[in-house]
Amino acid sequence: MDKRLRVALYAAAWAALIALPAAQQGLPKGTQQNPGTVKAGNGNYIVLGCVSREGQGSSPTYVITDSRATPPQQFRVDGDADLLRIHNGHTLEIGGAITPASGGRGMPTLKAQAVTYISPTCVKFK
Protein backbone atom coordinates (compact mmCIF):
# COMPACT_ATOMS: atom_id res chain seq x y z
CA MET A 1 0.00 0.00 0.00
CA ASP A 2 1.26 3.43 -0.84
CA LYS A 3 2.73 5.26 2.16
CA ARG A 4 0.61 8.39 1.54
CA LEU A 5 -2.58 6.31 1.49
CA ARG A 6 -1.64 4.60 4.77
CA VAL A 7 -0.93 7.96 6.41
CA ALA A 8 -4.27 9.33 5.17
CA LEU A 9 -6.15 6.28 6.53
CA TYR A 10 -4.40 6.54 9.91
CA ALA A 11 -5.21 10.25 10.08
CA ALA A 12 -8.87 9.61 9.26
CA ALA A 13 -9.11 6.84 11.87
CA TRP A 14 -7.44 9.07 14.49
CA ALA A 15 -9.84 11.94 13.77
CA ALA A 16 -12.83 9.60 14.07
CA LEU A 17 -11.61 8.29 17.45
CA ILE A 18 -11.14 11.80 18.78
CA ALA A 19 -14.58 12.96 17.61
CA LEU A 20 -16.46 9.91 18.96
CA PRO A 21 -16.55 10.89 22.68
CA ALA A 22 -17.78 14.41 21.88
CA ALA A 23 -20.51 13.02 19.65
CA GLN A 24 -21.60 10.57 22.36
CA GLN A 25 -21.98 13.35 24.94
CA GLY A 26 -24.41 15.20 22.71
CA LEU A 27 -23.27 18.65 23.83
CA PRO A 28 -25.58 21.33 22.48
CA LYS A 29 -23.94 24.07 20.43
CA GLY A 30 -23.06 27.15 22.44
CA THR A 31 -23.24 25.40 25.82
CA GLN A 32 -20.22 25.99 27.99
CA GLN A 33 -18.94 23.26 30.27
CA ASN A 34 -17.79 25.83 32.80
CA PRO A 35 -19.25 29.29 32.22
CA GLY A 36 -17.21 30.94 34.97
CA THR A 37 -15.53 30.55 38.30
CA VAL A 38 -16.96 31.32 41.71
CA LYS A 39 -15.28 31.47 45.10
CA ALA A 40 -17.29 30.97 48.26
CA GLY A 41 -18.06 34.16 50.15
CA ASN A 42 -19.66 37.51 49.33
CA GLY A 43 -23.05 35.83 48.91
CA ASN A 44 -21.74 32.93 46.79
CA TYR A 45 -21.76 29.29 47.80
CA ILE A 46 -20.22 26.10 46.45
CA VAL A 47 -22.52 23.07 46.34
CA LEU A 48 -21.10 19.62 45.57
CA GLY A 49 -23.57 16.88 44.80
CA CYS A 50 -25.73 14.80 42.51
CA VAL A 51 -27.91 16.46 39.86
CA SER A 52 -31.35 15.00 39.22
CA ARG A 53 -34.31 15.93 37.05
CA GLU A 54 -37.72 16.50 38.59
CA GLY A 55 -40.93 16.91 36.66
CA GLN A 56 -42.01 16.04 33.16
CA GLY A 57 -42.64 18.02 30.03
CA SER A 58 -40.75 20.76 28.27
CA SER A 59 -39.58 22.65 31.37
CA PRO A 60 -38.25 20.21 33.98
CA THR A 61 -36.66 21.33 37.24
CA TYR A 62 -33.12 20.27 38.07
CA VAL A 63 -32.06 19.68 41.67
CA ILE A 64 -28.63 19.21 43.18
CA THR A 65 -28.40 17.16 46.38
CA ASP A 66 -25.38 17.93 48.56
CA SER A 67 -24.83 14.76 50.62
CA ARG A 68 -22.05 16.35 52.70
CA ALA A 69 -24.70 17.84 55.00
CA THR A 70 -26.71 15.80 57.51
CA PRO A 71 -29.45 15.46 56.39
CA PRO A 72 -28.50 15.98 52.72
CA GLN A 73 -29.47 19.44 51.46
CA GLN A 74 -31.29 20.01 48.17
CA PHE A 75 -31.26 23.08 45.96
CA ARG A 76 -33.26 23.84 42.84
CA VAL A 77 -30.70 24.81 40.17
CA ASP A 78 -31.31 27.92 38.09
CA GLY A 79 -29.01 27.43 35.11
CA ASP A 80 -28.60 26.29 31.51
CA ALA A 81 -31.25 23.58 31.06
CA ASP A 82 -29.31 21.93 28.19
CA LEU A 83 -26.17 21.67 30.30
CA LEU A 84 -28.12 20.31 33.29
CA ARG A 85 -29.91 17.79 31.06
CA ILE A 86 -26.55 16.42 29.96
CA HIS A 87 -25.40 16.09 33.57
CA ASN A 88 -28.54 14.44 34.97
CA GLY A 89 -27.28 11.69 37.31
CA HIS A 90 -23.74 13.12 37.48
CA THR A 91 -21.84 14.66 40.38
CA LEU A 92 -21.14 18.35 39.84
CA GLU A 93 -19.74 21.28 41.78
CA ILE A 94 -21.96 24.31 41.22
CA GLY A 95 -21.09 27.75 42.49
CA GLY A 96 -23.37 30.74 42.79
CA ALA A 97 -25.78 32.69 44.93
CA ILE A 98 -28.55 30.97 46.91
CA THR A 99 -32.05 32.39 47.17
CA PRO A 100 -34.06 31.07 50.14
CA ALA A 101 -37.31 29.22 49.53
CA SER A 102 -40.28 31.57 49.40
CA GLY A 103 -42.46 31.47 52.51
CA GLY A 104 -40.31 28.75 54.07
CA ARG A 105 -41.81 26.17 51.70
CA GLY A 106 -40.04 24.28 48.97
CA MET A 107 -36.31 24.36 48.48
CA PRO A 108 -33.79 27.17 48.07
CA THR A 109 -32.60 28.07 44.56
CA LEU A 110 -28.94 27.99 43.52
CA LYS A 111 -28.15 30.37 40.63
CA ALA A 112 -25.48 28.45 38.67
CA GLN A 113 -22.60 30.77 37.82
CA ALA A 114 -19.92 28.07 37.57
CA VAL A 115 -20.31 24.36 36.86
CA THR A 116 -17.50 21.86 37.33
CA TYR A 117 -17.94 18.23 36.28
CA ILE A 118 -16.80 15.78 38.97
CA SER A 119 -18.07 12.27 38.13
CA PRO A 120 -20.38 10.44 35.68
CA THR A 121 -22.15 8.85 38.66
CA CYS A 122 -23.61 10.18 41.89
CA VAL A 123 -20.98 10.12 44.61
CA LYS A 124 -21.96 10.13 48.29
CA PHE A 125 -19.72 12.35 50.38
CA LYS A 126 -19.23 11.98 54.12
pTM for the whole thing? 0.68
Residues 96-115 pLDDT 10s: 999 998 876 789 999 999 89
Nearest alpha-carbon partner for 112 in 4, 37, 19: 37
DSSP state of 41: B
pLDDT at 58: 74
CA–CA–CA angle 104, 40, 78 (5° rounding) = 50
CA atoms within 13 A on the CB side of 31: 17
Nearest alpha-carbon partner for 51 in 90, 95, 82, 93: 90
Contact 62, 84 (CB under 8 A): yes
Confidence band for 12, pLDDT divided at 50, 70 and 90: low
Higher pLDDT, 115 or 124: 115
Residues 50-62 pLDDT 10s: 999 998 777 789 9
Confidence band for 27, pLDDT divided at 50, 70 and 90: very low
CA–CA–CA angle 34, 77, 21 (5° rounding) = 40
Chain centroid to CA 62: 10
